[in-house]
Chains A and B, each alone.
Chain A
Amino acid sequence: MNFLKKVPTQILPLAEAQLSLSNKSALHTSAVCCRVQSGRYRITVKRDRPLTYEMANPPHFIGHRKSWNSWNTSTLKDALRPSQTAIEDVFIRKFVTGTWHALVCSEIIIKRQHNTIRIAAIIRQAISPRKMYFLIGYTEELLSYWMQCPVTLEFQTVADKKDVVFKYI
């Protein structure tokens, strides 16, 4: 499986040199065994682990059965701030799941267009709409202070967490 091993040894230093020479974005490769484990869920004995559609499809189906959770232009040629964008996305995810504690039932989808950031997710109707509005105002404002972009939340609410469950394993 490890495709790096198949590469003839004399080419490797050359490739490395090229990588280090170009200060463009580089591809980071780690041991391929990650592919077997990451983004996958173990089947439980009682078969009662709830999975959303996103969780039910392992990472190699991205682009086939499921699509990306972050939409931005950082992978284009000559794109700026690719790493910062990724880190910011992680920050947004952590911030939203923490602020909307135990309410977010799906993945957090971050779409960036020009300088606006749109954050979509599915939220449980477990707190009163009044509190939700407070959190909406708070999240939008604080994130826009942090990212220095206008931030919009586009939530969908569901009555029960079970609504997002795709299957049990």
Chain B
Amino acid sequence: MYLTRQLRLLPSSSLVRHITSGNGTHYTTAAPPAAEHIEIPKRIERSPTDLLQALASTVGRDSTAPHYKYHDDPFLIPTSNVTKRTYTLSKEAGRKAANWIKEEHRELFMHQEAQPPIEKFAPSMVYTEESEVDTSSLQQLIAQGELTDAVLVYNLLEKKGIEVNDALKQSLLELVCFYNNQEPLPEEYIEERWFLQNSRRRERHGKTWKDGDLAEKLYAAIEPKTPQSYAALIRGMAKYLQCERAYALLQEANERQIQLDTNTYNAIIQIVSLLKDTADQRWQLCTVLLNQMAEQQLHPNLGTLNALLECISTFGNFKLARSSALKVLPEFKQLGVTPSLGTYYYLLIIFCRERAPVSHVIVDILNDIGGKQFKVEHPKDTYFFATAMDVCRNHLNDKALAKKVDELLHTGNNYDLIGDSFKESIYYRNYLALLCQTESIEDFMQTYDVLVPNIYIPEPGIMEEILRAIEINGAVEHVPRIWSDMVIFDHTHRESLLLYVLRIMVNNRPNAELPAQQQLPEQCAKVALDMYNKIEESAKRVRKVSFTGQMLGDILTLLVRSGSSFDKASEVFAYIDKQQHRIPGTPAESALSEYVEATVLNKAPSQALMALQYAVENNMETIALAKRIHEGFTLSEVHLAKLKSLVGESFLDK
């Protein structure tokens, strides 16, 4: 297992060649060539990870297991969106703590065990004001993308008067412009990135470019100005939304006849919507920029296409947006630019707007890209799936399309393009909501079983949709399952959901004759009792739910129906009776009558009278109850007297 022996065979021809080339021909060494010719197939070239990837492709997703970043143990599997988030983030916090210790006690981690050495396991280099530095270390830092250290070293070099050549300055400028001289989130903390978008909506929040900072100083230090330095600064300014100056710089470059590149123009086209106010002006500016590109003989690429579409998507005028998008697309097709998912995302937001006519552009898109595999090519590529599903649900309400989108998502490695946790949950929210509106409840529950809870946990809003679907279909047999999920997902403090669950169970009286539903009354009673306990418990908590008469009445009904939990029902009723001044509303009359019916069955006249008394006190219909009690029991004198005192003797007359 741990020892492999390799046998390699060399063909005789190689040996023979050695011999004949090294010597004269006065003796023959080579065996006469074999009669049959043996063809050895060429080795199939593969990269070091190809085999691993092939093996990994055999592994499917197990819907009963959590994502592999979680520990596979019942205690440690997250059961709600909150725990999903906290667990991963605390794990990452632990990793950060370990990293901190490594950096803080670097002298303990200097040993060298691994061979070949792994750089990430060793403490990183520390640069201080006293460090001995030269240009080569600056170069290395820039190559590693260590922004803060690179800037520090650059300042040190300047202080010491060491000349930094222009090429190095240029690469530092590019680094600083890319990050806006701000240390980015380290790459290895993917979970933080995954959950970042939840809390931060960074879209178009105005200028963040640091005016007069290091980038501009570096730019000033580079003399004479090269096209690259212009490009770096323009792109940096455009990225951090210093729009006016970016555009001014572009014009300056044009005046000086400096040849810029396509990506710089892309950056400017992206911010056109911030430079001009009206759609016409924006479109005009885009045309101007594109003409400039044509003059400079720059070939537009995918970035140009997506930037243009982004600009078009900001047009308030729907018709203009639509017509210009339709103008742009064929032109780029002619240029041989293959659209990415980001392109389709822009098309979706251009064509499928809330106040615009219904557009079926997504059908054409899906016909175009169905079954294809995508790689990330543009930052906006990750927006496609969430938006497409949103369009399927809210714009078209089309189940078949949604299934198509889902199929595309699970083709090849396309799941990598889902984006982050936020987009993933939007995607599944729309998907589930659409399915529960349009699919039969049985089919829907199958999908539900696959997705919930490990891939997606429904939010309360979606839970309500699901409950609505169950109510419409009268599929009360799914309620116990949904209830246990609700308990796990911590939805039990939502009054509307609780009422919904109760309503479904009360209104859909299980049919005892069907064998499938025989267990149901018991289960419903269990759910009701569980809910009763949960609500009682929650009184001590911050997020408390208070009983209403309606709720208690429903719980009472369900307990009564199960047959075996009459004691519990009496307990609940005693609670209603005792707390009647605190509980707003009263139970439905049907609940009371069912309860009385049960008291008859269980031969508990005092409970029946208590119910009657409650009905009297709360101004409810009492005659029918009293009658039922009178007929149902052979009452003792005491009870009869009480009955009379409650409703008078009138009921006996009829």
Contacts and interface: CB of A to CB of B under 8 A. Distances in A.
Interface stretch (A14-22, A59-67, A127-135, A160-168): A127-135
Contacts of A138: 94-95, 97-98
Interface residues of B, number: 31
A148 B121 contact: yes
Contact of B94 (A141, A145, A146, A157): A141
Name the residue in A132, A135, A147 with the highest tally of chain B Cβ atoms < 10 Å from its Cβ.
Answer: A132
B566 to A, nearest CB: 34
Contacts of B83: 129-130
Given A144-B121, A147-B113, A149-B114, A136 B91 contact: yes
B121 A137 contact: no
B2 A156 contact: no
A129 B78 CA distance: 9
A37 to B, nearest CB: 35
A137 B90 contact: yes
B447 interface: no
A155 B87 CA distance: 15
Contacts, number: 85
Contacts of A149: 113-114
A94 B113 CA distance: 20
B2 A142 contact: no
Given A130-B86, A146-B109, A137 B98 contact: yes
Given A131-B90, A137-B90, A145-B121, A157 B113 contact: no
Contacts of B121: 144-145, 148
Interface size class of A (residues with CB under 8 A): 20 to 34
Given A73-B2, A133-B76, A155-B73, A145 B90 contact: no
B71 A155 contact: yes
B169 interface: no
Nearest to A147: B113
A115 B98 contact: no
B95 A140 contact: yes
A134 B93 CA distance: 6
A132 B121 CA distance: 23
Interface in A85-141: 115, 125, 129-141
Contacts of B102: 142, 145
A76 interface: yes
Name the residue in B91, B96, B114 with the highest tally of chain A Cβ atoms < 10 Å from its Cβ.
Answer: B91
B27 interface: no
Interface string B95-120: 11111011000000100111001100
Contacts of B96: 137
B118 A148 contact: yes
Name the residue in A76, A115, A136 with the highest tally of chain B Cβ atoms < 10 Å from its Cβ.
Answer: A136
A151 B128 CA distance: 32
A129 B76 CA distance: 6
Given A146-B109, A148-B121, A137 B95 contact: yes
A154 to B, nearest CB: 8
Contact of A129 (B2, B75, B101, B117): B75
Given A142-B101, A148-B113, A134 B91 contact: yes
A85 B99 CA distance: 23
Contact of B75 (A76, A125, A139, A144): A125
B88 interface: yes
A144 B3 CA distance: 25
Contacts of A145: 98-99, 102, 109, 121
Given A148-B114, A155-B71, A133 B88 contact: yes
A167 to B, nearest CB: 25
Contacts of B118: 148
Contacts of B95: 137-138, 140-141
The 5 closest A-B pairs by CB, nearest first: A137-B94, A138-B94, A141-B98, A137-B91, A148-B114
Given A145-B109, A153-B71, 9 more contacts: A130-B83, A130-B87, A133-B88, A137-B94, A139-B94, A140-B94, A142-B102, A148-B121, A149-B113
Interface of A: 73, 76, 115, 125, 129-142, 144-149, 153, 155-157
28 contacts: A73-B2, A125-B75, A130-B83, A131-B90, A132-B71, A133-B88, A133-B94, A134-B97, A136-B71, A136-B91, A136-B94, A137-B90, A137-B92, A137-B93, A138-B94, A139-B94, A140-B94, A141-B98, A142-B98, A142-B101, A142-B102, A146-B109, A148-B114, A148-B118, A149-B113, A155-B71, A155-B73, A157-B75
